[in-house]
Structure 1
Amino acid sequence: MYLTLRDRPGGKSAASSAAPRIATTVVLLGIVSLLTDISSEMVNAVLPLYLTAEVGLGVLAYGFVDGLYQGVSALLRIGGGYVGDRSNRPKWVAAVGYGLSALSRVGMLVAHNLAAISAVVTADRLGKGLRTAPRDAMIADSSDPRALGRSFGVHRTLDTIGAAIGPMVAFSMLLLVPGDYNSVWVVSAGFAFVGVAVIVLFVPNRKTKAVRAGQSFRHLLRQVTGPRLRRPLIAAGLLALFTVGDGFLYLSLQQRDHMAAKYFPLLYVGSNISYLLLAIPFGRLADRIGRTRVFLGGHVALLAVYLFAAGPFGGAWSTVLVLGLLGTYYAATDGVLPALVTPLVDAHARGSGIAAAQTVVVLARFASSLAFGSLWLLLGSTHALFLVGGLLLATLALSVWLLRGSEATPAAEESESEVTA
C-alpha cells in the first residue's frame, strides 16, 4: 500500500521529517532485473569466447555483434517510453520487453553462425529497449524526489547482484562440462522466464502521469529534447561515444595476461561485484553533492580503466584494479543518468525523457563498438585504448561545460513524497 504525502501550506509533510523510504515497487522491479541479469550475463559472459573460439569469428565480427548488443535497443527506447507514458500502463510495456528477451535465450540453441547470432542478439536488445524506459519511469514515479539517486542505486544494486551471479553460474557449468554452451543457454532461459513471471504476477501496475489527451508524438519529442535536456543529452552522447565495450576490455586483459579461457567469465564477476557494492553509496552521494558531479566522476574512473588496461603492468593486481574501476564507472553513471534527467522533464513525459537520454547513449555506444573493433585491427588493443582514452579526456573537459547548471531547473510538477505504509 502506498501513501502520497504532499506538503501543506503552513506546515511540513510527514515525509519531510524522516529519511525517504524505498518503495516496494522499486524493490520488486529490482528482483525482476536481478533474475533477468542472471540470464543475460550468463550469455554475455561467454559470448566473446563463444564467437571467437567456438564459432570462429574474428575481432571485427565480434565488434559488429557487440555493436548490435550495445545499439539495437535504441530502436525501441523512445517508442517504449512513449507508449508507457501514453497508455499509462508502463508495467505491461515493460513485461512485453522482458518476455521478448526471454524468448531470445531459446534462440541461442539454434544460432551457430553470424547471421543467426546477430538475429538473437537483436531480439534480446529490442526487448531491453522496450522495457527500460517504462521500468525506470515507474521507479522515478514511485520514489521521493529527494532520493531519486538512492532509489535508482537500490534497483541497480539488485540488478548487478544478478549480473555478478550470472557469469559465476556460466563459469561453473563450463568448468563441469567444458564446451557445453547449450546447457548455458537453457539455464539462462529458465531464469529469464522466472523474471517475466515476477513482473506479471507481483509488480503493481503503478500508473505514471499520463500524456495529456491529444498530445502528438512529435510534440512530446520536442518537449523532451528542449532546452532543459539538450545539453545533458549532448554530453551523455559524446561521453558514450568514447566508451569501449566491456567485452573488448576483457579480451584485452585476457590477451595481455594469457589468461585461460575457462576463467574469462570471472572478469564479469569482478566488475559487477564492484558495481553492486558502490551503486547505493554513489546514488546517495549524487543526491547529496549533485548528480552531474558523480556522473562526470564516473567517466574519470573509466579513463583510468583504459590507462591501466593498456599499460605495461600486467598481472592479477592490475586486472583487479581495472575491474574495480570499471564497476566504479557503472555505479556512478548507470543509475545516476536517469536520476539526473528525471527532474528536467515534466511528469507526464517522464518515461520519454529517460528514453531520450538512454537512446542517445546506446546509439553512441553502437558507433563506439564498431569503431573500436576497427581500431583494434589497425593499431592493436594497447594503442587503440590509449587513443580512445585521449579522446575521452578531451570530451570530459567539454562535458563539464555542457552540464554546468543542468540541475538548476526543476521539472514543472509538485514535489511528492511516497512511503510504504
Structure 2
Amino acid sequence: MVTAVLPLYLVVGLGMSPLAFGALDGLYQGATALSRLAGGHIADRAQRRKLVAGTGYALSACCKLALLAATTPWAVGAVLAADRTGKGLRTAPRDALISLSCPQEEQGRAFGVHRAMDTAGALLGPLVAFAVLWAARDGYDAVFVVSFCAAALGVLLLALFVRDTSTRTPDRPVKRKRRGRRSLRTLARTPGLPRLCLIAALLGVVTVSDSFLYLLLQRRLDLPTAYFPLLPVGTAAGFLLLAVPLGRLADRIGRRPVFLAGHGVLLMAYVLLLGPWGGGTAAAVCVLVLLGAFYAATDGVLMAAAGPLLPPHLKASGLALVQTSQALARFAGSLLFGAAWMYLGPGGALTAATAGLAVVLASVAAFHRGSHA
C-alpha cells in the first residue's frame, strides 16, 4: 500500500525534485545492504531465524505509523531508512527458512510459491490504497494507518504459526571475530557464489526502479493522481500469475538462464515504453505485465540459485550476501537514473538505461554461456 502511493506522495505531495527522489529511492533500495548482512549473520550465529525475521517485520510495521509524523523529505528519508533496515533484517532469515524447508530440486517452486503469495498482498495493496485515496479526505495518512494494521497482523501470524529450522552443529568455542572471518572466507570460497553476486550486481546497476517507471507511465498517460496506485496492480498481477510457473521452469532448465531471460523481458519493457506507442493504455498495460514477468523470473529465482550453493549453517548469511550485492547496485542505479532524469530528461534517462541494460545483459550472457545454475 505504501509503495503504491510513495512516489506520488514525495514528488507531488512534498514537491521533491527528480534528483532528490532518485537519492531517496536509492536509499529505499540500498539501506537494506548492511542490515541484510547483519540479519543473516545474527540468524545463522544464534540459529534464531524466525526471531530475527519477526524483528525486521515488526520494525517495518512501526515505520508505517511513523510516516504520519514525517512531513519533510529528510524526515521521510529517515523513516524509509528504518523501514528498509527492517526489510534487510528479515529478508535473508526468511529466505533461509524457505530454503531449509524444501529439497534442493524444488527450490525454484518453493520460492515461486512464496513470491506469488507475497505478490497477492502486493496486488491487493494498491487496490486498497486506491480505495482509501478515493474515499478519505486525508488520503495519504489513512493509507499509512491501514497499512500498519495489515503489517501488525502479519507479524502476529508469523509469531504464532511459522516454524524455525535448526542447523546447529557441534563445534568448539571460537572467538566471535574469528568466527565471522571464517564464515566470510567460507562464503568467498563457495563455488559459484562470487560469480552469482557479480551477475546480480552488474544487472542491478542498470535496472530502473519501479517508482521511476510508474512516474514515467503517469506522465505519458496523464493519469490523475487518484489512479496512480493502480499502476503497480498490473505488475503484481503478472508476478502473481508467473512466479510459480517460472520457478518450476527454473528448476527444470536451470535458474541462471531464467534469471537472465527475466532481464531480457525487462529490456523489452524499456523499449516499449520508449517507443511512440508507449503513451497508449494497451502499451502501458503491456509494460506493467512485462515488469511483473521480470520479477517472477528473477526475484525468487535468484534465491533459488544461491540456496543450493550454500552450507546449511551459513544459509542466511550467504543469501544476505547475494541480496546485498544486488541492493547496493540498485542504490547506485537509482542515483544515476535520478541524475540522468534531471540533466537528460526522462526520455534520455530511460534511453541510457536501456542501452546499459542491453550491453550488460549481452556481456553476462556471452560470458556465462554454457554454464548451469
TM-score greater than 0.5 by the shorter chain: yes
Q: Map of 1:67-82 to 2, 5 A cutoff?
A: 67-82=26-41
Matched-pair contact (CA < 8 Å) for 1:138–1:207:
no
Q: Which residue of 1 aligns with 2:206?
A: 242
Partner SS for 1:109: coil
**Contact (CA 8 Å) 1:212, 1:348: kept in 2 or not?**
no
Q: Does the Cα contact within 8 Å between 1:298 and 1:328 map onto a contact in 2?
A: yes
Q: CA RMSD in A?
A: 1.5
Q: Distance in 1 between matches of 2:276 and 2:334?
A: 24
- Aligned residue type for 1:262: A
Is 1:221 the counterpart of 2:180? The answer is no
DSSP-derived class of the 2:163 partner: coil
- The one-letter code of the counterpart of 1:104 is C
Q: Deviations 1:53-110 (Å, cap 9, x if unpaired)?
A: 1111111111111111110011211111111111111000101101110111110110
Q: Aligned residue for 1:29?
A: none
The CA distance in 2 between the partners of 1:238 and 1:255, in whole Å, is 29
Q: Deviations over 1:174-199 (max 9, x none)?
A: 11125521111111110111111111
Q: How far apart, in 2, do the equivalents of 1:212 and 1:66 lie?
A: 43
Question: What corresponds to 1:134 in structure 2?
Answer: 93
C-alpha displacement of 1:278: 0.2
Match of 2:257 among 289, 293, 296: 293
Pair 208,191 (structure 1): closer, same or farther in 2 beyond 3 Å: farther
Partner of 2:270: 306
Matching of residues 55-134 of structure 1 within 5 Å:
55-134=14-93
Tell me the TM-score normalised to structure 1 length. 0.85
CA contact (8 A) 2:57 2:90 kept: yes
3-state DSSP of counterpart to 1:264: helix
Counterpart AA for 1:237? A
1:194-246 deviation per Cα after TM superposition (whole angstroms, max 9, x unaligned): 11111111111222456955361112112222242111111110000000000
Question: How far does the alpha carbon of each residue in 1:28-66 deviate from its partner, in whole angstroms, 9 at most, with x for none?
Answer: xxxxxxxxxxxxxx1111111111111111111111111
Residue 250 of structure 1 and its aligned partner are, at CA, apart by: 0.7
Unpaired segments of 5 or more residues in structure 2? Answer: none
State the partner residue of 2:280: 315
Q: Secondary structure at the match of 1:112?
A: coil
Q: Find the residue that maps to 1:224 and give its secondary structure.
A: helix
Amino acid across the alignment from 1:45: A
CA drift of 1:405 comes to: 6.2
Q: 1:317 deviation in Å?
A: 0.6
2:302 corresponds to: 337
1:256 aligns with 2:220: yes
Q: Cα gap change, 1:210/1:405 in structure 2, threshold over 3 Å: closer, same or farther?
A: farther
Give CA-to-partner distance per residue, 1:145-201, whole Å, 9 cap, x none: 110000000000000000111111000011112552111111111011111111111
Which residue of structure 1 aligns with residue 324 of structure 2? 359
AA matched with 1:44 = T
Query: Does the C-alpha gap of structure 1 residues 179 and 288 become closer, same or farther in structure 2, counting only changes over 3 Å?
Result: same
* TM-score of the two chains, using structure 2 as the length reference: 0.95
Q: Which amino acid aligns with 2:324?
A: T
1:108/1:212 CA distance change after superposition, 3 Å: farther
1:277 paired with 2:241, answer yes
Per-residue deviation, residues 295-321 of structure 1 (Å, max 9, x unmatched): 000000011111111211121111011
Secondary structure of the structure 1 residue equivalent to 2:71: coil
Structure with more helix by fraction: 2
The alignment-based identity, stated in percent, is: 49
Rounded to whole Å, the distance in 2 between the matches of 1:205 and 1:302 is: 35
Per-residue Cα deviation, 1:97-144 (whole angstroms, up to 9, x for no partner): 011101111101100001110011001000000000000001000012
**Partner SS, residue 205 of structure 1:** coil
Task: Please tell me whether the aligned partners of residues 231 and 403 of structure 1 are also in contact (alpha carbons under 8 angstroms).
Answer: no
- Matched residues in 2 for 1:240 and 1:291: separation? 17
Aligned with 1:335: secondary structure?
helix
Tell me how many residue pairs correspond in the alignment.
Answer: 367
**In structure 2, how many angstroms separate the alpha carbons of the residues matched to 1:167 and 1:84?**
32
- Going from structure 1 to structure 2, the CA distance change for 1:288 and 1:180 (only over 3 Å counts) comes to same
**Conserved in 1, the CA contact under 8 Å of 2:136 and 2:142?**
no
Change (3 A) 1:383 1:110: same
Q: Deviations over 1:232-288 (max 9, x none)?
A: 111110000000000100101111121111111111111001000000000000000
Secondary structure at the aligned position of 2:318 is classed as: helix
Partner of 1:44: 3
Unaligned runs of 5+ in 1: 1-41, 409-421
Cα distance in 2 for partners of 1:128, 1:407 equals 30
